[in-house]
Amino acid sequence: IKKIGVLTSGGDAPGMNAAIRAVVRACAFYNVECVGIYRGYQGMIEGDFKEMGPRAVKNIINKGGTVLKSARSKEFMTTEGRQKAHANLKENGIDALVVIGGDGSFTGAEIFNSEYKFPVIGIPGTIDNDIFGTSHTLGYDTALNTVVEAIDKIRDTANSHNRLFFVEVMGRDAGHIALNAGIGAGAEEILIPEENLGLDRLIDSLRKSKESGKTSSIVVVAEGDKIGKNVFELKDYVEENMPEYDVRVSVLGHMQRGGTPSCFDRVLASRLGVKAVETLLEGKTNLMVGLLQDKVTLTPLEQAIKGQSRVDAELVKVSDIISI
């Protein structure tokens, strides 16, 4: 392998820049060329490439988002699109790819590999932490810190006005952000897709909280929660059943995706970026680099895509116990 292409695809996440930097510098260290591919697979189809040496990635380790930009590419889902992408890679002498993204991006990488035997390695980059084969995806830790900080601020108002707040957080179909940030911010209840508490038990729990002397409450709701009502309908439901509560809703939204990456995400990105390059240079392909028990590990892309990343049952228990 003489020239490695690197791209970011799908939703952006803090730490992607640190990963790009690590890939570019590991290439320089091992004397292979590195090419940045802009706008994910769409840029691969359009030949939007830039050669990157170690100085091209200065001052980005501390930046959120992705300097290579990200995109969702419908064209890459067609054989014609992938054919164009392959022709561009060949023309530019690129003979391996590092794909930083989520499971959709990994699916694209797998298909591309199966069609052209093109070496690909994935780095998990998404704040949702919904990828099998890694305890942490890039951006997840930063998002947790952002959410905890936001809930701390909301709590000031909840306390001052004796209010109940429903705070909706991101995470797609996974409850990792809600569960961890909920525990970290001292939420009274945490509603996650993996555990359907049910409306009756929610009301019951809020009643108990009130009876035990709590004057304000924070309920963290994962966006993918399956209680059967969205966060605004939940507010109405609780107000109907507990008129004594003054309920407010806060949907945190895209602020959770941005911002300065945490130290944890920067270090993780650096480790995964180096390992991705080393793995390609060892002649391996179709693997995702990840972190398990604080060791950098390799998981077949297929498993990373199909496997379920589960929330930790112990965390659910802790959250139940400490919200008494």
Residue positions forming the annotated binding site for ATP: 11, 72-73, 102-105
Phi, psi of 222, deg, nearest 5: -70, 145
Closest alpha carbon to 64 in 151, 175, 141, 173: 141
Give the range of 49-57, 101-109, 177-185, 267-275 binding ligand ATP by CB under 6 A: 101-109
Interaction between residue 142 and ligand ATP (CB under 6 A): no
Interaction between residue 111 and ligand ATP (CB under 6 A): yes
Task: Give ∠ CA 133-313-295 in degrees, rounded to 5.
Answer: 30
Q: Quick check: 137 and 122 in contact, CB under 8 A?
A: no
Interaction between residue 101 and ligand ATP (CB under 6 A): yes
Sign of CA dihedral 302, 135, 63, 61: negative
Interaction between residue 171 and ligand ATP (CB under 6 A): no
Interaction between residue 258 and ligand ATP (CB under 6 A): no
- DSSP-derived letter for residue 92 is T
Of residues 104 and 186, the one with the C-beta less far from ligand ATP: 104
Binds ligand ATP (CB under 6 A): choice among 17, 66, 126, 319: 126
Interaction between residue 104 and ligand ATP (CB under 6 A): yes
Distance in angstroms (rounded) separating the CA atoms of residues 97 and 41: 11
Binds ligand ATP (CB under 6 A): choice among 32, 56, 67, 77: 77
Q: Please identify every residue annotated as catalytic.
A: 128
Question: Site residues for ligand ATP, window 30-59 (CB under 6 A)?
Answer: 41
Q: Quick check: 23 and 273 in contact, CB under 8 A?
A: yes
Q: In the numeric block, which tokens belong to residue 100?
A: 């930083």
Strands, E assignment, 83-149: 96-101, 120-124
Q: Residue with the closest Cβ to ligand ATP?
A: 104
Binds ligand ATP (CB under 6 A): choice among 8, 17, 105, 134: 105
Q: Summarize as ranges the residues that interact with ligand ATP (CB under 6 A).
A: 9-11, 41, 72-73, 76-77, 101-105, 107-108, 111, 126
